[in-house]
Amino acid sequence: MKIGKKRDISTNLKNKWREPTLYSLWNAWASCHQRPEDDPWVKKLEDINRCRNGVVHRNRSITCEKLQEIAATSSDAPEDIYGGLLTFLETIAAPHPRPEIGVGRSLYRWGLEQLRQTTAGS
């Protein structure tokens, strides 16, 4: 079952703002990391979103087996499921490397620092 077509996540900026959905967050993550739709991590996030929507919006339950599948563990111990879920989140939430600052921003910071030093010395 397909969740939906990828949406432009900037549409909220043009329209009335609302909090991002789980769908828009994982979709933005996939776009940011240039992951294709058939990527295992994207599929897992899609599955998590589907399960979450079932619980929250349709009053469905989630089985222990499904939690084990998402957490990538065969144990039904709560600590192991928690650990597997935490490992998954830490893996996808690793900081995205930021590009070095450009020349314009570097000059802006330098100029601002020069102004601060000049006014502090006066």
Strand spans (E) along 1-108: none
The answer to whether residue 1 sits within a structural domain is no
pLDDT 10s digits, 75-116: 999 999 999 999 988 888 877 666 677 888 888 888 888 888
Nearest residue to 3 (alpha-carbon basis) of 37, 41, 39: 37
Please give the Cα distance from 93 to 32 (Å, whole number). 12
For residue 19, the enclosing domain spans 11-121
89: which 2 tokens?
Answer: 């989140």
Total number of domains in the chain: 1
* Better-predicted residue by pLDDT, 58 or 11: 58
84: which 2 tokens?
Answer: 């597997």
The answer to whether residue 5 sits within a structural domain is no
Per-residue confidence band for 10, with pLDDT thresholds at 50, 70 and 90: low
DSSP state of 101: P
Residue type, 98: R
